[in-house]
Amino acid sequence: MASTAATLESPQPAERARRVALLLNLAHAIDHMFLLIFATAVGSIAAEFGFSRWEDLMPYGVGAFVLFGLGSLPSGRLGDLWGRRRMMLLFFFGIGASALLAAATRNAWQLAAALTLLGAFASIYHPVGIPMLLQRAKNPGAVIGVNGLAGNLGIAVAALSTGFMVQWLGWRAAFALPGLLAIACGLVFAWQCPQETEAPHKRTTKARVSLAPRAMARVFAVMTAASVTGGLLFNFTTNGNAQLLAERFRGIVEDPALLGAMLAGVYALASLAQVVVGRLIDRVPLKPLYLGIVALQIPLLALAAVAEGWWMLALLLAVMVVIFGSIPFTDAMIVRYVDDRIRSRVAGARLTLSIGISSLAVWLLGPLVKASSFGALFGGMAAIAACTLGVVLWLPREDAPA
pLDDT of residue 372: 83
Residues counted in the chain: 402
The pTM of this model reads 0.78
Q: How many CB atoms lie within 10 A of CB 16?
A: 14
Q: Which CATH class is domain 15-193+202-392?
A: mainly alpha
Q: Which residues contact 309 (CB under 8 A, 6 or more apart)?
A: 248, 249, 252
Three-state SS at 52? coil
| 2-37 confidence digits (pLDDT tens) | 444 433 333 467 788 889 999 999 999 999 899 889
Per-domain residue ranges for the chain? 15-193+202-392
Tell me how far the alpha carbon of residue 136 is from its chain's centroid: 22
**How far is it, in rounded angstroms, from Cα 102 to Cα 278?**
35
| 222-281 confidence digits (pLDDT tens) | 888 898 898 889 888 988 888 888 888 888 887 877 888 888 889 889 989 999 999 999
Three-state SS at 402? coil
CB 166 within 8 A of CB 44: yes
Residue 300 has pLDDT above 90, yes or no: yes
